[in-house]
Amino acid sequence: MAALMSAKALTAFLEEEFPQVNADGIAYTVVDAGAGYAVMRLEPTVKHLRPGGTVSGPTLFALADITAYMAILAQIGPVALAVTTNLNINFLRKPEIGPLEARATLLKLGKRLAVVDIAITSGASSELVAHATATYSIPPRS
């Protein structure tokens, strides 16, 4: 099945439907998207950091969630009401302050549910810093 939304289309959708994501300047960027996957980049700012010189857990969680959503939309098109029903994340390493990349891969895409695997790596070292799985509910389509 071919992708329905490109990285450019996903970025426009994110800007239109969820302007709060990058309200304080561009931090989350859709880098690539295709059939069954999406890749996002996070350029952390001061608001994404926590004491100890690292990117915060809530920021990594948000990156995983948004990237999963983009992977689903890349496949099904612009469905603003698809929602997260579950997201589990494992924090594996302390990410250094710097760019992070998340790759979301669709594991299952059904009529009502989608399951996504997300790997977050440090841009500098390409080390896996977090791994997540997400389930999304997809509203009925006419």
Provide the residue ranges of all domains of the chain, joining segments of one domain with +.
1-19+46-83+107-124
The pLDDT score that the predictor gives to residue 142 is 64
Angstrom CA distances, 135 to 25, 61, 109, 118, 140, stand at 28, 14, 10, 11, 16
CB contact at 8 A, 92 and 129 = yes
- Closest residue by Cα to residue 62 from 45, 79, 81: 45
CB contact at 8 A, 6 and 30 = no
The pLDDT score that the predictor gives to residue 46 is 87
Q: Give the torsion through C-alpha atoms of 3, 5, 17, 71, to 10 deg.
A: 40
Q: In a structure prediction context, what are the per-residue pLDDT tens digits for the chain, which is 142 residues long?
A: 566 899 999 999 999 999 998 888 889 999 999 999 999 999 998 889 888 889 999 999 999 999 999 999 999 999 889 999 999 999 999 998 889 999 999 999 999 999 999 999 997 788 999 999 999 999 987 6
Residues 32 and 34: their CA atoms lie apart, in Å, by 7
Residues 87 and 131: their CA atoms lie apart, in Å, by 11
The pLDDT score that the predictor gives to residue 2 is 64
Give rounded-to-5 percent helix, strand, coil for the chain: 25, 40, 35
Burial class of residue 87 in the structure, from the number of CB atoms within 10 Å of its CB (0-12 exposed, 13-18 middle, 19+ buried): middle
